[in-house]
Amino acid sequence: MKLKVQILDVDTGGVHKILLNPVEITHLAMFAGERVLLEYQKEETVAIADSTSLVEPGNVGILNQVQRELKVKEGDFVEVSSDVKPTSIKAIRKKMDGLTLTADEIEAIVGDLVTGRLSDIDIAAFLVSEQIRGLSLEETVHLTRAIAEEGEQMDFGENVFDKHSIGGVPGNKVSLVIVPIVAAAGLLIPKTSSRAITSPSGTADTMEVLAEVEFSVDELQKIMKTAKASIVWGGALNLAPADDLFIQIEHPLQIDPRPQMIASIMAKKLSTGIQYMVLDIPTGEGCKVTTMEEARKLSHDFITVGNELGIAVHCAMTYGSQPVGHAIGPALEAKEALETLMGGGPTSLIEKSTGLAGILLEMGGLATRGAGRKLAKEILASGKALKKMREIIRAQNGKPDVTPQEIPIGTCTYDLLAPTDGYVATLHNRALVRIARAAGTPKILGAGLYLHAKVGSRVKEGDPVLTIYAETEGKLSDAIDVAKNLMPFTVEGMLLLTLTDTEQF
Amino acid sequence: MKLKVQILDVDTGGVHKILLNPVEITHLAMFAGERVLLEYQKEETVAIADSTSLVEPGNVGILNQVQRELKVKEGDFVEVSSDVKPTSIKAIRKKMDGLTLTADEIEAIVGDLVTGRLSDIDIAAFLVSEQIRGLSLEETVHLTRAIAEEGEQMDFGENVFDKHSIGGVPGNKVSLVIVPIVAAAGLLIPKTSSRAITSPSGTADTMEVLAEVEFSVDELQKIMKTAKASIVWGGALNLAPADDLFIQIEHPLQIDPRPQMIASIMAKKLSTGIQYMVLDIPTGEGCKVTTMEEARKLSHDFITVGNELGIAVHCAMTYGSQPVGHAIGPALEAKEALETLMGGGPTSLIEKSTGLAGILLEMGGLATRGAGRKLAKEILASGKALKKMREIIRAQNGKPDVTPQEIPIGTCTYDLLAPTDGYVATLHNRALVRIARAAGTPKILGAGLYLHAKVGSRVKEGDPVLTIYAETEGKLSDAIDVAKNLMPFTVEGMLLLTLTDTEQF
């Protein structure tokens, strides 16, 4: 039936939703909370219809997400029907039953996902089934292609290089060092990166301290023509809208099925036209991958899927049980990366960055096997990487001559002190992440942590082991509370816990 | 933070939802579409918060489902916080990983479900994990207890009997015959039944043609005192609110994990204080259970779980590959049941009803083993069951002396004819269900089907095999379309399909 649009300015955060008068709900032979198909000119989408007397019969109350999808305005007429039968429900059930899906079935799932035909429940059912039953590498390739095909495609006209990390280690600002090194050597590297979901700072958040990161595909093409490199937020490019929808369900479920991780990463590489990539797999206690065996298996899968898709993948397992460098949080990390490009910076950041950059230089034929790291270090030391970074910042509308001192850092600080003399035995990634998040990262750019000592450092009783930075006393106090609860580090010989009060349990 | 209530008359069909101004979303350090905890006096619930400029800062827009839960009115102040961390998420993850859950973990899941702390995504994750990983019988007992404990508890002060069917067969109006037989023999049988979700008529829908079915626990106690028996809708009694929430997710996923089915049924029996029950397991092609082996396994599980809970369960596998009796749809089925109680009725309905009633009579010590059916038939033939049914109808505010002729049936009809001479070879349950639903069941009480022939009946070309009943020509035409597509019966020797046009595929 045709209903008249009444725009309602309500943001559901992603869920497609409309409001109908109970009379129309009855006409459609449906119940409140069920889904309807909406058609307007060439656009169509599926939405959940709630029932309300606030919308007159003959009208349909359109909330923001649906308005954007259909591109309708007040007073337009849309076709509303209750005939919503996603064909992919059967495929999801098949995976639940442990059977192998065909390319067509996987395409149907991804297609129905993107057109909104699948509910959150359906998507959760698929992801949980995938988590338990797994996907074969062939299915993973199909999934990767299906996700890539739903998004924008880019072509830079020549060989394109990329660095990617599967994530999970705080303070991992290496992309801000690797990209300019690789680009300074003459390789094309259009780095698209993510914003933090659960971490203190994604590469896109860190880069945003120095330059803009939200660009369209056309704008990115221009940046690449000027600077031959970029560090932008992939989310703005619409490279893999299906992946964003999967992540919206994976995140609250706190699952990240391996095949989904591989497809998510490789689909975006496929869309960006990458031919050569180095993949950082942080491994160890507190990482996504905890053992070398697991890392080896994952590498095998990435390389195999890459081969099928025409992408040469070089996997590098890196030590991931403590943060990279000393800084955690957007501004603190941007500052540390800039210092490193200027000739300073911590050893762990320099070694990891040049190691990974070196692999790309070797893949690009600019260094013989094993000589890449040395070349990367030379480029870093020569100041060419810094010069390239300033070009990238300029191309992305930042201040090219920015200095580390200019970067604003939170002014409310608190030092966590060593309780005893000794060596730092452990730094707990997850605890550090939670303290940094409590301090306000990634939304508050100046919030974060600075580690004065790393694992193995000798500290004296009363020495600061780490400093918390926040922009308000309230957030600082939140972060201190979290820190006192979680014990983010241990010093050999310190008492781990003393208890006198049952309330402490 | 405390926010002022602004009631918004919107019905979401079950989802707990509120609206907040973007300013408050930011204050709560959350995103639109995430969950918040709402507290008002002693009530608390969790809801999804969408963002809108339509609600002023300082206010909270409360939609119907949340209003009912919190019992707030316009202008009240509720506490809103974003600290929603269900402890049961870990337990769900554990089941996903294939591990066994403890009683405490299962209680946490059911508790968080009922308080709204679990999202649809979380519930789907639990159900899909259960579908794939299974639950042990011990876990199933914990689940049953947890579901029962969240609901109302009843106690009738003496031994209580019950009949239940796992469902799946259209036209299964046997409860309307069994309950009065059993009660006429002197046994207490407070039958609570369900409304149709996917079938043409649930027992509660069928009974509603004759009497009211929505009563509170107190009202049911009164009915039981008067009539010693009841046939009411379980949904109104709040016996197992957790089960209703599980079903809301199982239904769109089209899954019904076995342990969930057992817990769902047994929890309501536990809440109703049942000690003895007969369980009808329709078995065969087109049923929930297709093989005798599967039926045996399910019986074993029901009996074991029942033993743990102090409920003696007698399972009866029945032939389920075609409808019971001739009538399908609320009014048509109520009419057929009444005719049967008055001494008429089809053989399949009489045999199945007296068979199951007989088991209860044996369990109650009123007949020796094997003699129950005979006693049940005697009670039916004596008119005592009819008298008891009229008492039940009176106690449930119906018209006690109702006659079959008075029951209004849809006046728009269409006959499906035998295309050839022969014996009816098959009647397809699922096709019959879809035709009846298209005709308007269960909402339209007078809609439905009447089967003139059953499997094995001899028909002549042009004989009506079934009649479709609807209350409007539009609905009748919908049902005819479905019937022509689905071919609900076959007559030996008829051509199954002839094709001349590619559009028919």
Q: pLDDT at residue A253 above 80? A: yes
Say what the pLDDT of residue B24 is.
Answer: 85
Strongest mean pLDDT among A162-171, A174-183, A490-499: A174-183
Over residues B187-196, mean pLDDT: 94
Angle between helices A120-133 and B89-96 (to 10 degrees): 50
Q: Is A133 touching B (CB cutoff 8 A)?
A: yes
Say what the pLDDT of residue A352 is.
Answer: 94
Residues forming a β-bridge with A279: A164, A315
Domains of chain A listed by start with CATH number: 2-81 (2.40.40.20), 89-134 (1.20.970.10), 161-233+268-395 (3.40.1030.10), 409-491 (3.90.1170.30)
Among A15, A89, A132, select the one facing B129 at the smallest CB separation.
Answer: A132
Which chain A residues are Cβ-neighbours of B246 within 8 angstroms?
A: none
Say what the pLDDT of residue B243 is.
Answer: 92
The two structure tokens encoding residue B294: 């599967």
3-state SS assignment for residue B26: helix
Residue of B nearest to A98 (CA): B132
Residues forming a β-bridge with A77: A4
Percent of chain A's residues with pLDDT above 70: 96
> Distance between CA B146 and CA B138 in Å, rounded?
12
Q: Decide if B51 and A13 are in contact by the 8 Å CB cutoff.
A: yes
Q: Is A31 touching B (CB cutoff 8 A)?
A: yes
HEC assignment per residue over B383-441: CHHHHHHHHHHHHCCCCCCCCHHHCCCCCEEEEEECCCCEEEEEECHHHHHHHHHHCCC
Which chain B residues are Cβ-neighbours of A35 within 8 angstroms?
A: none
Conformation bin of residue B90: beta by default, left when phi > 0, alpha when psi is -120 to 50: alpha
* A64 phi and psi angles, rounded to 5 deg: -50, -45
Among A13, A123, A125, select the one facing B31 at the smallest CB separation.
Answer: A13
Residue B484: which H helix or E strand, with range? helix B473-486
> Distance between CA A294 and CA B1 in Å, rounded?
45
The two structure tokens encoding residue A384: 């060419």
Place of tokens 């359906």: A122
Q: Decide if A253 and B122 are in contact by the 8 Å CB cutoff.
A: yes
Report chain A's C-alpha Rg in angstroms: 25
Over residues B227-254, mean pLDDT: 90
Q: Which of A281, A286, A240, A279 is nearest to A263 (CA)?
A: A240
- Neighbour count for residue A463 (Cβ, 10 Å): 15
- The structure's pTM equals 0.82
Over residues B154-159, mean pLDDT: 91
Per-residue pLDDT band at B197 (split at 50, 70, 90): confident
3-state SS assignment for residue B461: coil
Among B10, B34, B121, select the one facing A253 at the smallest CB separation.
Answer: B121
Q: pLDDT at residue A340 above 90? A: yes
Among the listed residues A256, A280, A301, A478, the single catalytic one is A256
Q: Decide if B128 and A133 are in contact by the 8 Å CB cutoff.
A: no
Q: pLDDT at residue B114 above 50? A: yes
> Distance between CA B178 and CA B183 in Å, rounded?
8
Which chain B residues are Cβ-neighbours of A87 within 8 angstroms?
A: none
Over residues A397-419, mean pLDDT: 96
- Within 8 A by CB and 6+ apart from B40, the residues are B70, B71, B72, B76, B77, B78, B79
Which chain B residues are Cβ-neighbours of A34 within 8 angstroms?
A: 13
Per-residue pLDDT band at B501 (split at 50, 70, 90): very low
pLDDT tens digits along A350-407: 999 999 999 999 999 999 999 999 999 999 999 999 999 999 999 999 999 999 999 9
3-state SS assignment for residue A51: strand
Residue of A nearest to B95 (CA): A132
- Within 8 A by CB and 6+ apart from B87, the residues are B108, B112
CB B418 within 8 A of CB B465: yes
- Within 8 A by CB and 6+ apart from A69, the residues are A16, A43, A45, A116
pLDDT tens digits along B26-58: 777 677 778 888 999 988 888 888 889 889 999
Say what the pLDDT of residue B498 is.
Answer: 52
HEC assignment per residue over B291-306: CHHHHHHHHHHHHHHH
DSSP string, A95-134: HHTTPPPPHHHHHHHHHHHHTT-S-HHHHHHHHHHHHHH-
Say what the pLDDT of residue B487 is.
Answer: 83
Say what the pLDDT of residue B31 is.
Answer: 73
Place of tokens 């599926």: A46
Q: Decide if A52 and B11 are in contact by the 8 Å CB cutoff.
A: yes
The two structure tokens encoding residue B50: 């969408």
Say what the pLDDT of residue B144 is.
Answer: 98
CB B80 within 8 A of CB B36: yes
The two structure tokens encoding residue B14: 């079950």
pLDDT tens digits along B396-425: 999 999 999 999 999 999 999 998 898 998
pLDDT tens digits along A174-229: 999 999 999 999 999 999 999 988 889 999 999 999 999 999 999 999 999 999 99
The two structure tokens encoding residue B451: 């089967």
Q: Decide if B121 and A120 are in contact by the 8 Å CB cutoff.
A: yes
Q: How far is CA B423 from CA B106, B419, B458, B467, B492, in A?
A: 52, 11, 4, 18, 6
Active site residue A421: no
Which chain A residues are Cβ-neighbours of B125 within 8 angstroms?
A: 124, 128, 253, 255
* B452 phi and psi angles, rounded to 5 deg: -80, -25
Among the listed residues B205, B256, B301, B478, the single catalytic one is B256
> Any alpha helices (H) in B73-172, and if so which ranges?
89-96, 103-114, 120-133, 137-149
Which chain A residues are Cβ-neighbours of B16 within 8 angstroms?
A: none
Say what the pLDDT of residue A263 is.
Answer: 97
Angle between helices B372-382 and B384-395 (to 10 degrees): 70
Report chain B's C-alpha Rg in angstroms: 25
Q: How far is B227 from chain A (nearest CA, A)?
A: 35
- Within 8 A by CB and 6+ apart from A438, the residues are A475, A478, A479, A481, A482
Q: pLDDT at residue A248 above 80? A: yes
> Distance between CA A143 and CA A150 in Å, rounded?
11
Q: Decide if B10 and A254 are in contact by the 8 Å CB cutoff.
A: no
The two structure tokens encoding residue A471: 């922009």
Per-residue pLDDT band at B166 (split at 50, 70, 90): very high
Say what the pLDDT of residue B446 is.
Answer: 96
pLDDT tens digits along B449-487: 999 999 989 999 999 999 999 999 988 998 998 898 888
A-B Cβ pairs (cutoff 8 Å, strict): 120
pLDDT tens digits along A74-131: 999 999 987 676 779 899 999 999 999 999 999 999 999 988 788 889 999 999 999 9
Place of tokens 């919107």: B10
pLDDT tens digits along A15-63: 788 999 988 887 776 777 788 889 999 888 888 888 898 899 999 999 9
Determine the number of helices (DSSP H) and then strands (DSSP E) in chain B. 18, 19
Q: pLDDT at residue B502 above 70? A: no
